[in-house]
Chain A
Amino acid sequence: MFDWMADTYGLFTGWLFEEAVQPAMYALGLMDWAEEAFHWLDFFVFGLLGIGVVYLVCRPLEAWRPVERWEDGSAVWTDVVYTLLARLGILPLLAFVLFAAVQVRIEGLIADSGWVPPTLESTFPTLREYPLLALLIYIVILDFGEYWRHRFQHTFGWWWALHSVHHAQKQMTFWTDDRNHVIDDVIAAAWFGVIAVAIGVPPGQFPIILLVLRLGESLSHANVRLDFGRVGERLLVSPRFHRLHHGLLSAGATGKNYAVLLPVWDWIFGTADFDRGRYPSTGDPTAPESLASGGWLRQQVDGTKRLLRALRGRDA
């Protein structure tokens, strides 16, 4: 079954590439980028697939046991716009291509000395024979990086000014995962891209890693009364675990539960809250109403203003 799905996926992307992407690149005189474009299709198609998979998993859950019900769900539609803009792979791709290009140049300089930088598998040769294990290790490392990026978003005033766009949502659903200021998205993509390149994530595995992380992140934002049990809560970030992070009392630097996929980081660094009884309301009480209920553009503008104020040393 999985084999059939993988083959169908491959045939579909091949058809798309041959019929649409490659002829366009030929017409634009960009054929020497054809292989990169073929890889990019994975991001695009994986982005579409990701949205579909997340919807199929999360929407029934939200309908089944919602934490909250709202009369007017227009704020949720703004989050849908965020998702469509973010999940077609544009920003992560830019970061990856940019940093891969930088990496190539740096490695080229280093290679002049005769030394070639290591990768995870060249450092631990056993991993060559176990690509799935290598993939899991890459995910763990990247998730660790995401934990610290998230903590820093809550630690530095200017970064919190950006991140509060994400936290301002009072109607949190699985769509909320992508609700971010574009500058915050760029920083996040750069952060992720630098780590991915530093540890040598294979380009072919990059979309799979993104898919796994994003499925976990979307589920954790879902408006569903769901926890994974006493043990499961410590293994994987649940909607309950992350809702606590989005609770009114968690905004800013005093937050809890920063983990993106694996709660073990909160456990280790003392920021975990495993209270399974609470499903608090979400939102940032310090943020203007426009960040909560404004449209995409309004939120971006106001988020930028808050950033500038924070950089000038005034309260965001």
Chain B
Amino acid sequence: MRWRLPSLVLPILLALAPAARADLVYVLNSGEASITVLDAVTRQEVRRIPVLREPHHLVLTPDGSELVIADSGGNEVFFVKPETGEVLRRARISNPYHLEYSPDGKYLVVASLRRDQVDILDAATLELVHRFRPGDKPSHVAFTPDSRTVFVTMQGDRAVAAFDMGTRTHLWTQEVGPEPAGIIWHRGRLIIGIMGSDHFVTLDPVTREVRHAFTLGRGAHTIFPSPDGRSLYATSRVDSRLAEIDPETLAVRRTWAIPGGPDCLTFDPEGRVWMTLRWIGRVAVLDPRGETWETVRVGRSPHGIFFKPRRDGIGGDFALSMAGATSGTRPLAAPLPRRPHAGAPPPAGIMPGSIPPAPAIPAALRRTP
């Protein structure tokens, strides 16, 4: 009879033990008005969330508790619980295409590609604080780490526009090249993908000097820092490529030719790069240590993507430090520590680790309150 006890108890214990939860990947299918939720391990679709029209980009709320998904054609943003995919609430917003929270968590800035407007919303209430109409096709958004300046690529005007968040004024517009798309703040300057060309440029926000950064391929599009800050990853959509970039020198370390039009990226804790392939309805998963990648079928014209870790030992700080969580534009001054930031206590409502150590902000952008 001794063998019977474990054979009876074990299944019960297993049943009672908390089930290991698989990590999730959210993919915005801009061409078929839905969101695919993938099991990151099995690569199977576990849920499909219908949206109104055309979801393109997403961002994590400053406290990391909700995923904000922008449905540009549907004129709304909706809030999803990232652990489960549950839709918590919706809000009517005018044509939200790309969006980003200010690093201090106070404001949400929304670029409207089709309505030529840049909206500053109160992050808590989503009330419209100010609307800019800076020109043709505002596309992607990036902040300075001190939240005082926001930059928007103007696809139709070959330019980047800068706005003062304090005075709510349009500071300047600088030509950078044909059809600029993705933009990030990177160690005191901006890096911008020039979609009508084959390269990325840097833009000094003080002198407004534009410099060639690196060449990738025709249709240079977006750029994202890896969660550990040790690499940047850039995409081009005509010459369908992904490249790993040295964050110090901006030299191209490696290039992968990945058919299908790689667009937005996100990262898993193992360092794999998950990317949407816009033109073939797939997500590619690439381990940068190797040469190969696998693809997973999702919906039509997948665009924004977000990896949500749910396993034990991976906290919200990972998600918040990840470029995919913030549309690739959350300031990243230096490689992030593995542990949550141990400096001064963060402002209320901001999770530790969401704000990197203070970067070197150019003097001209430094202001006293």
> Are A and B part of the same complex?
yes
Interface residues of A (CB under 8 A from B): 7, 10-11, 13-15, 17-18, 22-23, 26, 29, 31-32, 34-35, 38-39, 104-105, 107-108, 111-112, 114, 116-117, 119, 121-122, 128-129, 131, 200, 202-205
- Least CB distance from B38 to A in Å reads 16
CB of B178 within 8 A of CB of A31, answer yes
CB of B280 within 8 A of CB of A10, answer yes
Q: Please pick, from B156, B240, B261, the residue contacting A32 in the complex, using a CB distance under 8 A.
A: B156
**29 intermolecular pairs with C-beta atoms under 8 Å apart:** A10-B280, A18-B260, A18-B279, A22-B261, A26-B218, A29-B196, A31-B195, A31-B238, A32-B196, A35-B301, A38-B31, A39-B31, A104-B95, A104-B115, A107-B75, A107-B94, A107-B95, A112-B131, A119-B74, A121-B74, A122-B74, A122-B75, A122-B76, A128-B50, A202-B53, A202-B73, A204-B31, A204-B32, A204-B300
Q: Please pick, from A10, A14, A29, A38, the residue contacting B178 in the complex, using a CB distance under 8 A.
A: A29
Interface size class of B (residues with CB under 8 A): 35 or more
- Least CB distance from B279 to A in Å reads 4
Q: Please pick, from A14, A29, A35, A107, the residue contacting B280 in the complex, using a CB distance under 8 A.
A: A14
Known: A107-B115, A129-B50. A31 touches B33 (CB 8 A): no
CB of B117 within 8 A of CB of A108, answer yes
| Cα separation A26 to B261 with both chains bound (whole Å) | 14
Residues of B within 8 A of A18 (CB): 240, 259-261, 279-280
Known: A38-B301, A39-B31. A26 touches B196 (CB 8 A): yes
Chain A residue, CB-CB nearest to B261: A18
Residues of A within 8 A of B195 (CB): 31-32
Known: A111-B115, A204-B32. A121 touches B52 (CB 8 A): yes
CB of A116 within 8 A of CB of B219, answer no
CB of A14 within 8 A of CB of B260, answer yes
Chain A residue, CB-CB nearest to B56: A35
| Cα separation A13 to B278 with both chains bound (whole Å) | 11
Interface centre among B54, B131, B300 (most CB of A within 10 A): B300
Residues of B within 8 A of A119 (CB): 52-53, 74-75
Q: Please pick, from A22, A111, A112, A204, the residue contacting B238 in the complex, using a CB distance under 8 A.
A: A22
| Cα separation A35 to B195 with both chains bound (whole Å) | 13
Known: A11-B280, A26-B196. A116 touches B92 (CB 8 A): yes
Known: A10-B280, A108-B117, A131-B50. A31 touches B94 (CB 8 A): no
CB of B114 within 8 A of chain A? Answer: yes
| Cα separation A34 to B112 with both chains bound (whole Å) | 17
| Cα separation A114 to B74 with both chains bound (whole Å) | 15
Q: Please pick, from B95, B238, B281, the residue contacting A10 in the complex, using a CB distance under 8 A.
A: B281
B190-201 vs A: 1/0 string, CB under 8 Å? 000001100000
CB of B94 within 8 A of CB of A116, answer yes
Residues of A within 8 A of B30 (CB): 35
User: What total of A-B pairs shows CB separation below 8 Å?
Assistant: 115
| Cα separation A11 to B277 with both chains bound (whole Å) | 11
Residues of A within 8 A of B148 (CB): none
CB of B50 within 8 A of CB of A31, answer no
B216-248 vs A: 1/0 string, CB under 8 Å? 001100000000000000000110100000000
B273-296 vs A: 1/0 string, CB under 8 Å? 000001111000000000000000
CB of B128 within 8 A of CB of A114, answer yes
Q: A22-B279, A38-B278 are in contact. List 6 more A-B contacts (CB 8 A).
A: A31-B178, A35-B30, A38-B31, A38-B301, A112-B131, A129-B50
| Cα separation A111 to B131 with both chains bound (whole Å) | 10
Residues of A within 8 A of B137 (CB): 32
Chain A residue, CB-CB nearest to B195: A31
CB of B179 within 8 A of chain A? Answer: yes
Residues of A within 8 A of B280 (CB): 10-11, 14-15, 18
CB of B93 within 8 A of chain A? Answer: yes
CB of A122 within 8 A of CB of B52, answer yes
CB of B326 within 8 A of chain A? Answer: no
Chain A residue, CB-CB nearest to B117: A108
Chain A residue, CB-CB nearest to B301: A38
CB of B279 within 8 A of CB of A204, answer no
CB of A116 within 8 A of CB of B281, answer no
Chain B residue, CB-CB nearest to A22: B238
CB of B116 within 8 A of chain A? Answer: yes
Interface centre among A23, A32, A200 (most CB of B within 10 A): A32
Residues of B within 8 A of A26 (CB): 196, 218-219, 238
